[in-house]
Amino acid sequence: MKLEDLVNPAILTQPVYEPGKPIETVARELGLDPATIIKLASNENAFGPSPKAVAAARAALGEAQLYPDGGCFALRQKLSARHALAPEQIVPGNGSNEILELLGHVFLRPGDEAVMGVPAFVVYKLVTLLFGAKPVEVPLVNHRHDLGALAAAITPRTKLVFLPSPNNPTGTANSETEILAFARALPAHVVLVFDEAYVEFLENPPDLRPLLREGRHVVCLRTFSKIFGLAALRVGYGYMGAAMAALLNRSRQPFNVNAIGQAAACAALDDHPFTTRCRSDNHAGLAQLEAGFRALGLELVPSVANFLLVRVGDGARAFAELQKRGVIVRPLQPYGMAEWLRVTVGTTVQNERLLRELAAVMKP
């Protein structure tokens, strides 16, 4: 019997996630010195992890022979204080990507639908397809989620609707007022998955906790991979109603979040001066990139996150040319925006380097 005849059919057609290339890979492929390469491709924190988080991670390594606390007690305590929610309302994950997968386990079966914007974070579509469900993709309008169109795409088969704000890859956000109105108008058979991966970069973040108090089916997702600078350690979480959390907990691995990550995440939450500095440095970096792109005569999408879309014409070519010059960015043709690049905000020096190399690449 052929292997293909044995497998779950969803696997045979499952698209593969294309990550931003690691520095080491680019160095190897192009024969460059890794020390000269900068990566502005995956929306990581250019300012690194908090030194306090690094110290906590080092200390935790000394106990690496022990299984982690599968219940993430200390981390859930801290998060419950941060959000003024009960610890039972918080589900830590191996990155918030794992929470997305748990939602698939809990809610999606073949024949179900999940509604999402396009372009948005591709993992929504990947998870939907993995469970044999149907992604229903709703085009953004002016690079922003069109909540009216999302609502109109809901059918009796819809189980999940994904809403990221700020959105990746566009860096645009929806207002709290419109999000709350959208959520309150959803039919009761639909779960809203509100992805807040970049919320800490906002001056005035939306607050969806009233929806939880009203007993609505809402899951909010956060990550330590972005402003907290801990992408390597894979820690994220969802907050939601306690009944929803109990369902997600049934579907997860018993030790889904490693001990090093738990310790680092706890320390990162306490390092307020670090996150405050990252937020203001990111703000300055966005302004630097916007001014630089405008000076090059390039169209951009104003962003409230830690990355920015810029229109370069032939995105694949600009991506390849920049990479040869040691600058890794994200080409957007997999998102259906072949003329655009997504650039993560770097340090001042990294942003200058990107602008210099891009100017050279764009010269006729």
Ligand X SMILES: *Cc1c(COP(=O)(O)O)cnc(C)c1O
Q: Which of 97, 165, 256, 282 lies at the binding interface for ligand X (CB under 6 A)?
A: 97
Q: Is the dihedral of CA 266, 271, 274, 277 positive or negative?
A: positive
Q: Which stretch binds ligand X (CB under 6 A): 134-142, 186-194, 220-228, 250-258?
A: 220-228
Nearest approach, Cβ of residue 64 and ligand X (Å): 22
Distance, CA of 344 to CA of 289 (rounded, Å) = 10
Residues 6+ apart with CB under 8 A from 186: 151, 154, 161, 192, 216, 217
Size of the site for ligand X (CB under 6 A): 14
Distance, CA of 186 to CA of 128 (rounded, Å) = 19
Q: Which stretch binds ligand X (CB under 6 A): 93-101, 145-153, 177-185, 261-269?
A: 93-101
Nearest approach, Cβ of residue 249 and ligand X (Å): 18
Q: Which of 89, 128, 225, 256 lies at the binding interface for ligand X (CB under 6 A)?
A: 225
**3-class DSSP assignment, residue 205:** coil
Token pair 């007690």 in the structure block, residue: 73
- Residue 303 near residue 335, CB atoms below 8 Å: no
Token pair 């001056």 in the structure block, residue: 203
CA-closest candidate to residue 271, choices 51, 44, 46, 47: 51
CB nearer to ligand X: give 37 or 221. 221
- Residue 49 near residue 277, CB atoms below 8 Å: no
Residue window 256-285: x/- pattern of binding to ligand X, with contact defined by CB under 6 A:
------------------------------
Q: Which stretch binds ligand X (CB under 6 A): 91-99, 107-115, 286-294, 325-333?
A: 91-99
Q: Which of 89, 96, 275, 282 lies at the binding interface for ligand X (CB under 6 A)?
A: 96
Distance, CA of 363 to CA of 206 (rounded, Å) = 42
Q: Which stretch binds ligand X (CB under 6 A): 151-159, 224-232, 279-287, 334-342?
A: 224-232
CB nearer to ligand X: give 95 or 331. 95
Distance, CA of 121 to CA of 131 (rounded, Å) = 17
Q: Does 117 bind ligand X (CB under 6 A)?
A: no
Q: Does 119 bind ligand X (CB under 6 A)?
A: no
Taking the alpha carbons at both ends of the chain, their separation in whole angstroms is 56
Q: Which of 68, 92, 95, 331 lies at the binding interface for ligand X (CB under 6 A)?
A: 95
Q: Which of 92, 236, 285, 331 lies at the binding interface for ligand X (CB under 6 A)?
A: 236
Q: Does 231 bind ligand X (CB under 6 A)?
A: yes
- Residue 146 near residue 140, CB atoms below 8 Å: yes
Positions 165 through 194 that interact with ligand X (CB under 6 A) = 168
One-character DSSP codes across 157-197: TEEEEEEESS-TTT-----HHHHHHHHHTS-TT-EEEEE-T
Residue window 36-75: x/- pattern of binding to ligand X, with contact defined by CB under 6 A:
-------x--------------------------------
Nearest approach, Cβ of residue 57 and ligand X (Å): 16
CB nearer to ligand X: give 78 or 342. 342
Q: Does 303 bind ligand X (CB under 6 A)?
A: no
Q: Does 223 bind ligand X (CB under 6 A)?
A: yes
Q: Torsions phi, psi of 285, nearest 5?
A: -65, -40
Residue window 121-150: x/- pattern of binding to ligand X, with contact defined by CB under 6 A:
x-----------------------------
Residues 6+ apart with CB under 8 A from 245: 88, 89, 90, 91, 238
* Chain contacts with ligand X (rule: CB under 6 A): 43, 95-97, 121, 164, 168, 195, 197, 223, 225-226, 231, 236
